[in-house]
């Protein structure tokens, strides 16, 4: 009985402080794409760290995770909106200039994609967005917060 009461007390173990990932031991970061949001809504990253992004599409539509500054987000939004009669999801014909590409990961419904990525050492403001036509407008965006090592998430 005491064990059952302790389990129900609501005293969950604290989330450990963030320890930045390295090339040898990247930190796992989960991004779940839903119809039409991301979980978490704010992603904590340490500048210069290496992370293993686990991008999971928990929605019914194809989604993408574009990580970049506002100019990157604008470039992908314009490129995908300009596609003539786009099918659901991105087409191979949709591209942006390499200088504004950011990081782009496309996931089908139910798919998991793992991507190793090194966060820029001196990042400006970065966002996460999905630019499948209409998704950005429906609020499919998340913010990135830059934190210092040892900070609690």
Q: What is the pLDDT of residues 49-98, one digit of tens each?
A: 999 999 999 999 999 999 999 999 999 998 888 775 555 555 556 677 77
Q: Which residue has the tokens 């796992």?
A: 28
Choice between 35 and 14, residue whose per-residue pLDDT is larger: 35
- Cβ 40 vs Cβ 92: under 8 Å: no
The CATH number assigned to the domain with range 18-146 reads 2.60.40.420
Measured CA to CA, the distance from residue 40 to residue 128 in angstroms comes to 11
Q: Where are the domains of the chain?
A: 18-146
Summarize the confidence of residues 6-34 as an average pLDDT: 79
Mode of pairing for the β-strands spanning 141-146 and 42-45: parallel
Neighbouring residues of 83: CB distance < 8 A, sequence distance ≥ 6: 91, 93, 94, 133
Which pTM was predicted?
0.82
Beta strands in 46-147 (DSSP E): 50-57, 63-68, 103-107, 112-118, 127-129, 141-146
């Amino acid at each position: 009985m005491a064990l059952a009461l302790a389990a129900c007390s609501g005293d969950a173990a604290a989330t450990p402080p963030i320890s930045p990932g390295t090339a040898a031991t990247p930190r796992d970061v989960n991004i779940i794409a839903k119809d039409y949001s991301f979980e978490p809504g704010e992603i904590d990253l340490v500048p210069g760290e290496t992370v293993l992004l686990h991008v999971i599409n928990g929605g019914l539509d194809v989604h993408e995770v574009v990580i970049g500054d506002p100019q990157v987000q604008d470039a992908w939004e314009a490129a995908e909106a300009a596609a003539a009669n786009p099918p659901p999801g991105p087409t191979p014909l949709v591209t942006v200039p390499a200088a504004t590409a950011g990081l782009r990961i496309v996931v089908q419904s139910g798919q998991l994609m793992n991507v190793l990525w090194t966060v820029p050492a001196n990042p400006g403001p970065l966002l996460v967005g999905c630019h499948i036509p209409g998704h950005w407008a429906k609020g499919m965006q998340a913010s990135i917060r830059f934190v210092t090592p040892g900070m609690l998430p």
